[in-house]
Amino acid sequence: MLFGRRKYTSISVRKKDLPGGLWVKCQHCAEIVYKQEIDSRHGVCPECDYHFPIRWKERLEITVDEGSFTEWDADLISADPLSFSAQESYPVQLEKYRKKTGMKESIVCGQAKISSFDVALGIMDFSFFAGSMGSVVGEKVTRLLERGTAEKLPVIIFVASGGARMQEGMFSLMQMAKTSAAVMRHAEKKLPYIVVLTHPSTAGVMASYGTLGDIIIAEPFALIGFAGPRVIKETIREDVPKGFQRSEFVLRHGLIDMITHREDMKKTLGLLLGYMDKKGT
Protein backbone atom coordinates (compact mmCIF):
# COMPACT_ATOMS: atom_id res chain seq x y z
CA MET A 1 0.00 0.00 0.00
CA LEU A 2 1.40 3.34 -0.98
CA PHE A 3 1.12 6.23 1.31
CA GLY A 4 1.13 9.69 -0.18
CA ARG A 5 2.80 12.60 1.53
CA ARG A 6 0.34 14.56 3.59
CA LYS A 7 -0.25 18.05 2.31
CA TYR A 8 -0.27 20.84 4.85
CA THR A 9 -2.02 24.11 4.19
CA SER A 10 -0.60 27.28 5.67
CA ILE A 11 -2.90 30.21 6.28
CA SER A 12 -1.29 33.59 6.17
CA VAL A 13 -2.92 36.52 7.87
CA ARG A 14 -2.19 39.85 6.35
CA LYS A 15 -1.79 42.85 8.61
CA LYS A 16 -4.66 44.65 6.88
CA ASP A 17 -6.97 41.71 7.75
CA LEU A 18 -6.52 42.37 11.48
CA PRO A 19 -8.77 44.95 13.15
CA GLY A 20 -6.80 48.05 14.06
CA GLY A 21 -6.43 49.45 17.55
CA LEU A 22 -6.77 46.16 19.44
CA TRP A 23 -3.23 46.07 20.82
CA VAL A 24 -0.91 48.70 22.28
CA LYS A 25 2.82 48.54 22.89
CA CYS A 26 3.62 49.91 26.33
CA GLN A 27 6.19 52.71 26.21
CA HIS A 28 7.69 51.61 29.51
CA CYS A 29 7.87 47.79 29.55
CA ALA A 30 7.55 47.25 25.76
CA GLU A 31 4.89 44.56 26.27
CA ILE A 32 2.10 44.23 23.71
CA VAL A 33 -1.08 44.74 25.71
CA TYR A 34 -4.74 44.33 24.83
CA LYS A 35 -6.07 47.90 24.54
CA GLN A 36 -9.40 47.07 26.16
CA GLU A 37 -7.54 45.96 29.28
CA ILE A 38 -5.66 49.26 29.41
CA ASP A 39 -8.91 51.18 28.89
CA SER A 40 -10.61 49.24 31.69
CA ARG A 41 -7.83 50.41 34.03
CA HIS A 42 -8.19 54.05 32.94
CA GLY A 43 -5.04 54.08 30.85
CA VAL A 44 -2.76 52.04 33.14
CA CYS A 45 -0.63 49.20 31.78
CA PRO A 46 -1.56 45.88 33.48
CA GLU A 47 2.02 44.63 33.15
CA CYS A 48 4.07 47.47 34.68
CA ASP A 49 1.61 50.16 35.88
CA TYR A 50 2.84 52.70 33.33
CA HIS A 51 0.29 55.52 33.14
CA PHE A 52 -0.69 56.43 29.59
CA PRO A 53 -2.01 59.95 28.97
CA ILE A 54 -5.79 60.10 29.15
CA ARG A 55 -8.35 62.62 27.90
CA TRP A 56 -9.64 65.34 30.19
CA LYS A 57 -13.16 63.93 30.39
CA GLU A 58 -11.93 60.57 31.66
CA ARG A 59 -9.68 62.35 34.14
CA LEU A 60 -12.66 64.35 35.35
CA GLU A 61 -14.82 61.25 35.65
CA ILE A 62 -12.36 59.39 37.90
CA THR A 63 -11.40 62.41 40.01
CA VAL A 64 -14.48 64.45 40.98
CA ASP A 65 -17.75 63.61 42.68
CA GLU A 66 -20.34 62.63 40.09
CA GLY A 67 -22.25 65.54 38.55
CA SER A 68 -20.37 68.18 40.55
CA PHE A 69 -18.35 69.86 37.77
CA THR A 70 -19.28 73.27 36.38
CA GLU A 71 -17.02 74.65 33.66
CA TRP A 72 -15.62 78.17 33.77
CA ASP A 73 -14.46 80.36 30.86
CA ALA A 74 -15.43 77.76 28.28
CA ASP A 75 -15.65 80.21 25.37
CA LEU A 76 -12.12 81.62 25.43
CA ILE A 77 -10.28 80.88 22.18
CA SER A 78 -6.82 81.73 20.88
CA ALA A 79 -6.12 84.63 18.54
CA ASP A 80 -3.19 84.82 16.12
CA PRO A 81 -1.15 87.77 17.45
CA LEU A 82 1.93 87.03 15.31
CA SER A 83 0.09 86.01 12.11
CA PHE A 84 2.17 82.85 12.42
CA SER A 85 2.44 80.62 9.39
CA ALA A 86 4.52 77.54 8.62
CA GLN A 87 3.21 74.74 6.41
CA GLU A 88 -0.17 75.72 7.82
CA SER A 89 -1.30 78.94 9.45
CA TYR A 90 -1.86 78.97 13.21
CA PRO A 91 -5.66 79.41 12.90
CA VAL A 92 -5.81 76.37 10.59
CA GLN A 93 -3.81 74.32 13.09
CA LEU A 94 -6.09 75.38 15.93
CA GLU A 95 -9.20 74.46 13.98
CA LYS A 96 -7.79 70.99 13.24
CA TYR A 97 -7.17 70.36 16.93
CA ARG A 98 -10.65 71.62 17.81
CA LYS A 99 -12.23 69.18 15.38
CA LYS A 100 -9.96 66.32 16.46
CA THR A 101 -10.41 66.74 20.22
CA GLY A 102 -13.73 68.54 20.66
CA MET A 103 -11.87 71.06 22.84
CA LYS A 104 -11.37 74.78 22.36
CA GLU A 105 -8.03 74.85 24.20
CA SER A 106 -5.61 72.52 25.97
CA ILE A 107 -7.04 73.12 29.44
CA VAL A 108 -10.52 72.86 30.90
CA CYS A 109 -11.24 74.77 34.11
CA GLY A 110 -14.13 74.93 36.52
CA GLN A 111 -15.49 74.15 39.97
CA ALA A 112 -16.12 70.66 41.32
CA LYS A 113 -16.29 68.58 44.46
CA ILE A 114 -13.66 66.01 45.39
CA SER A 115 -14.67 63.82 48.34
CA SER A 116 -17.27 66.51 49.16
CA PHE A 117 -14.68 69.33 49.21
CA ASP A 118 -15.32 72.27 46.86
CA VAL A 119 -12.31 72.95 44.60
CA ALA A 120 -11.33 75.08 41.64
CA LEU A 121 -10.04 72.55 39.13
CA GLY A 122 -7.97 72.73 35.96
CA ILE A 123 -7.24 69.71 33.73
CA MET A 124 -4.76 69.92 30.87
CA ASP A 125 -5.12 67.58 27.90
CA PHE A 126 -2.03 66.68 25.87
CA SER A 127 -4.22 65.77 22.90
CA PHE A 128 -4.80 69.44 22.11
CA PHE A 129 -1.63 70.99 20.67
CA ALA A 130 0.56 68.83 22.94
CA GLY A 131 -0.88 70.60 25.97
CA SER A 132 1.09 73.70 25.04
CA MET A 133 0.54 76.98 26.87
CA GLY A 134 -0.50 79.96 24.81
CA SER A 135 -2.25 83.16 25.86
CA VAL A 136 -5.61 81.48 26.42
CA VAL A 137 -4.18 78.70 28.58
CA GLY A 138 -2.34 81.30 30.65
CA GLU A 139 -5.50 83.39 30.94
CA LYS A 140 -7.64 80.41 31.96
CA VAL A 141 -5.12 79.28 34.58
CA THR A 142 -4.87 82.83 35.94
CA ARG A 143 -8.64 83.21 36.09
CA LEU A 144 -8.93 79.80 37.77
CA LEU A 145 -6.47 80.86 40.48
CA GLU A 146 -7.99 84.33 40.91
CA ARG A 147 -11.53 83.00 41.18
CA GLY A 148 -10.34 80.29 43.56
CA THR A 149 -8.75 83.03 45.67
CA ALA A 150 -11.85 85.23 45.58
CA GLU A 151 -14.15 82.34 46.54
CA LYS A 152 -11.65 80.91 49.07
CA LEU A 153 -11.35 77.60 47.26
CA PRO A 154 -8.42 75.20 47.05
CA VAL A 155 -7.01 75.04 43.52
CA ILE A 156 -5.95 71.78 41.88
CA ILE A 157 -4.34 71.62 38.43
CA PHE A 158 -3.52 68.45 36.49
CA VAL A 159 -0.55 69.22 34.25
CA ALA A 160 0.15 67.56 30.88
CA SER A 161 2.20 69.82 28.66
CA GLY A 162 4.99 70.09 26.14
CA GLY A 163 5.62 73.70 27.21
CA ALA A 164 5.06 77.14 25.76
CA ARG A 165 3.31 77.42 22.38
CA MET A 166 5.86 78.59 19.82
CA GLN A 167 3.14 79.91 17.48
CA GLU A 168 2.51 82.73 19.97
CA GLY A 169 6.16 83.55 20.68
CA MET A 170 6.71 86.06 23.49
CA PHE A 171 2.97 86.21 24.23
CA SER A 172 3.21 82.57 25.27
CA LEU A 173 6.32 83.09 27.41
CA MET A 174 4.65 85.99 29.23
CA GLN A 175 2.10 83.52 30.62
CA MET A 176 4.80 82.04 32.85
CA ALA A 177 5.09 85.27 34.86
CA LYS A 178 1.35 85.92 34.73
CA THR A 179 0.34 82.52 36.12
CA SER A 180 3.13 82.56 38.73
CA ALA A 181 1.88 85.91 40.04
CA ALA A 182 -1.63 84.47 40.36
CA VAL A 183 -0.23 81.52 42.36
CA MET A 184 1.54 83.98 44.69
CA ARG A 185 -1.66 85.95 45.32
CA HIS A 186 -3.49 82.69 46.09
CA ALA A 187 -0.73 81.70 48.53
CA GLU A 188 -0.92 85.08 50.29
CA LYS A 189 -4.48 84.17 51.29
CA LYS A 190 -3.16 80.89 52.76
CA LEU A 191 -5.29 78.80 50.41
CA PRO A 192 -4.17 75.36 49.21
CA TYR A 193 -2.74 74.85 45.74
CA ILE A 194 -2.09 71.27 44.62
CA VAL A 195 -0.39 70.28 41.36
CA VAL A 196 -0.64 66.82 39.80
CA LEU A 197 2.05 66.15 37.20
CA THR A 198 1.13 63.61 34.53
CA HIS A 199 3.07 62.32 31.52
CA PRO A 200 4.56 64.52 30.14
CA SER A 201 5.02 67.68 32.23
CA THR A 202 7.74 69.84 30.75
CA ALA A 203 9.18 73.23 29.74
CA GLY A 204 7.32 76.52 30.29
CA VAL A 205 4.51 75.05 32.37
CA MET A 206 7.04 73.36 34.65
CA ALA A 207 8.94 76.65 34.91
CA SER A 208 5.81 78.37 36.22
CA TYR A 209 2.62 77.10 37.86
CA GLY A 210 3.59 73.44 37.42
CA THR A 211 6.19 73.55 40.20
CA LEU A 212 4.66 76.13 42.54
CA GLY A 213 2.16 73.91 44.34
CA ASP A 214 2.01 73.61 48.12
CA ILE A 215 1.96 69.90 47.35
CA ILE A 216 3.22 68.44 44.09
CA ILE A 217 2.02 64.95 43.18
CA ALA A 218 3.11 62.92 40.16
CA GLU A 219 1.77 59.83 38.45
CA PRO A 220 4.22 56.90 38.11
CA PHE A 221 6.85 57.03 35.33
CA ALA A 222 5.80 60.51 34.14
CA LEU A 223 8.36 62.56 32.22
CA ILE A 224 9.02 65.66 34.35
CA GLY A 225 11.50 68.41 33.58
CA PHE A 226 12.29 71.54 31.61
CA ALA A 227 14.37 70.58 28.58
CA GLY A 228 14.17 66.96 27.46
CA PRO A 229 16.86 64.39 28.35
CA ARG A 230 18.18 64.28 24.77
CA VAL A 231 18.67 68.05 24.69
CA ILE A 232 20.42 68.00 28.07
CA LYS A 233 22.66 65.13 27.01
CA GLU A 234 23.71 66.99 23.86
CA THR A 235 24.29 70.19 25.84
CA ILE A 236 26.46 68.79 28.64
CA ARG A 237 27.95 66.06 26.41
CA GLU A 238 27.48 63.43 29.10
CA ASP A 239 25.12 60.51 29.54
CA VAL A 240 22.21 61.24 31.85
CA PRO A 241 21.42 58.84 34.74
CA LYS A 242 19.06 55.94 34.25
CA GLY A 243 15.46 57.02 34.82
CA PHE A 244 16.45 60.68 34.50
CA GLN A 245 13.50 63.11 34.65
CA ARG A 246 10.99 60.41 35.54
CA SER A 247 8.70 60.71 38.56
CA GLU A 248 10.76 58.30 40.65
CA PHE A 249 14.00 60.17 39.89
CA VAL A 250 12.63 63.64 40.70
CA LEU A 251 11.00 62.32 43.89
CA ARG A 252 14.39 61.07 45.12
CA HIS A 253 15.88 64.49 44.34
CA GLY A 254 13.18 66.48 46.11
CA LEU A 255 11.30 68.16 43.25
CA ILE A 256 7.97 66.49 44.04
CA ASP A 257 6.31 65.37 47.26
CA MET A 258 4.75 62.04 46.33
CA ILE A 259 3.89 59.59 43.56
CA THR A 260 0.30 58.43 43.44
CA HIS A 261 -1.29 55.73 41.32
CA ARG A 262 -4.17 56.94 39.18
CA GLU A 263 -6.69 54.70 40.92
CA ASP A 264 -5.73 56.22 44.27
CA MET A 265 -5.67 59.86 43.11
CA LYS A 266 -9.17 60.88 44.18
CA LYS A 267 -8.73 59.33 47.63
CA THR A 268 -5.32 61.00 48.05
CA LEU A 269 -6.63 64.41 47.00
CA GLY A 270 -9.55 64.04 49.39
CA LEU A 271 -7.20 63.26 52.28
CA LEU A 272 -4.95 66.21 51.44
CA LEU A 273 -7.90 68.57 51.17
CA GLY A 274 -9.06 67.38 54.59
CA TYR A 275 -5.64 68.08 56.11
CA MET A 276 -5.47 71.53 54.50
CA ASP A 277 -9.11 72.49 54.97
CA LYS A 278 -9.44 76.11 55.98
CA LYS A 279 -10.96 79.11 54.24
CA GLY A 280 -7.90 81.36 54.25
CA THR A 281 -7.65 84.96 55.40
- Per-residue pLDDT tens digits for 238-257: 887 887 889 999 999 999 99
Among 199, 57, 43, 76, which residue's Cα sits nearest to residue 121?
Answer: 57
Mean pLDDT of 6-18: 45
- Whole-angstrom distance, CA of residue 200 vs CA of residue 206: 10
Average pLDDT (84-108) is 94
Place 280 in a pLDDT band, splitting at 50, 70 and 90.
low
pTM of the model: 0.88
Range name among 130-139, 143-152, 178-187, 240-249 with the lowest pLDDT average: 240-249
- Which residues, listed in sequence order, are joined to residue 218 by a DSSP beta bridge? 197, 259
**Under 8 Å between Cβ of 137 and 173:** no
Q: Are strands 224-225 and 107-114 parallel, antiparallel or unpaired?
A: unpaired
